[in-house]
Copies of this chain bind each other. A is one copy, B any other.
Amino acid sequence: QRQEDTSTVRQPIIPVAKQSLLSNIDMIANMQMSFQNEFNEGTYTRSRFVLNQFRLEIKGKVHEKVYFRFRDRYTRTVVPQSIDNISRSTDMAYLRFDPSPRWKIYAGKMSADWGGYEFDANPVNIYEYSDIIEYADNFLTGAGVGYVLPGNKQEFTLQLLNTRTASFYELYDTIPGIQEARFPFAAVVNWRGSFFGGKFNTIWSYSLFREAEYEYMNYFALGNQLNLKKFRLAYDFKWSNEQLDRKGIVSSFTDNVGLKTAQNVRYVSHWTQVDYRVSEKVNLFFVGMLDDALWKAPGKNDRTRLRTAWGYIPGIEVYPFDNFNLKVFGAFIGRKYTYTDEARQVLGMKDSDNYRVSVGIISPLVIL
């Protein structure tokens, strides 16, 4: 055998099994490239061409009841992770089994089924992620089960995943009084709903993470979408309460006063996207983001806000070809970070404001 498997038998020119595989499998180059001009505190700092994203994807049906999906980034160092063993560059490598038309079973490395329309989009369509998603581990290894209600309007998913890809010590180092959990898991419940003939849709989820013994994280993400003829409005509310600061945003502030890992942190996020499809070929959009970071300092009774991060992305997308999912975009991507007095005085943080003007191309390019 020489490490080969004997699963494949040869037949003459394009055997039927191959034809069926080929028709059911897609190879996709997910690309986002741009020429971007960067400004910091209102001053022009630099211009450059960037391949923001290049993720090669292979997916499709490999058997009547088995579906496969693999996606790998070429913009990230290939480093196998200490918990799940697979490279961090690999977003997904999973199998889906459909035992019946209503039930689905998932196993492998997959995108955690957080709710919200921002996270649910193909990453090439996102110009800048809001804080919670930007700093989360979104691709985790585990298993899941899905159930579609009769009528195909409601779907429920339950996932049990490793809570992270790296070990506790790699992520948090040692924290006095806190002990590593023996099974650090993330449990995710997701509901996808569709109402009024698809005019109103939801992706809601609740997740519980066990980060360490007696240390948990609770995460709600409630995505809502209004989908009219030429007009689409999405609004995601996200709320993450973290006994250990998993996102590391607050920890990056407290690091200034010698606290490597902050505890009792909360992130609250509002995200909205408005799309107005002017014509077949032209889409106008605006993305707005507002992310609050809160912290209960040691010895304090109350949680106080440290930072508000603003994001605003107006832009235009043009589809130059009919029936071909490739768009040319122009976007203004602004970010503004304002700190509270506490964060400024105690932690030494400073407000900042930057934006970039980008033009570029986006495509989930189907190459096979």
Residues of chain A touching chain B, judged by Cβ–Cβ distance below 8 Å, are: 1-5, 7-8, 10-16, 18-31, 33, 35, 44-52, 54, 56, 58-60, 62-63, 65-66, 68, 70, 72, 74-80, 83-87, 89-91, 93, 95, 97, 107-109, 111, 113, 119-124, 141-143, 161-162, 182-184, 320-321, 324-326, 360-361, 363-368
Contact = CB atoms under 8 A, between A and B. Distances in A.
Report copies per complex. 3
B22 A368 contact: yes
A59 B72 CA distance: 18
Given A23-B12, A120-B3, A49 B95 contact: no
B78 A74 contact: yes
A14 B19 contact: yes
A162 B46 CA distance: 11
Given A23-B15, A75-B85, A93-B29, A60 B361 contact: no
Nearest to A91: B3
B51 A24 contact: no
Contacts of A63: 321, 324, 326
Given A3-B121, A182-B46, A80 B86 contact: no
7 closest pairs, A vs B, by CB? Answer: A7-B325, A5-B364, A47-B183, A51-B86, A49-B141, A49-B142, A78-B78
Contacts of A122: 1, 3-5
A30 B85 CA distance: 15
A143 B35 contact: yes
Contact of A23 (B14, B86, B90, B320): B14
A80 B77 contact: yes
A62 B107 contact: no
Given A8-B366, A51-B108, 14 more contacts: A2-B111, A10-B23, A13-B16, A18-B368, A29-B68, A44-B182, A46-B183, A48-B183, A49-B143, A52-B85, A54-B86, A62-B365, A63-B326, A65-B321
B113 A48 contact: no
Contacts of A78: 74, 77-78, 89
Given A74-B78, A89-B78, A7 B366 contact: yes
Contacts of A83: 48, 50
A66 to B, nearest CB: 7
B18 A23 contact: yes
A203 to B, nearest CB: 9
Contacts of A91: 3
Nearest to A34: B107
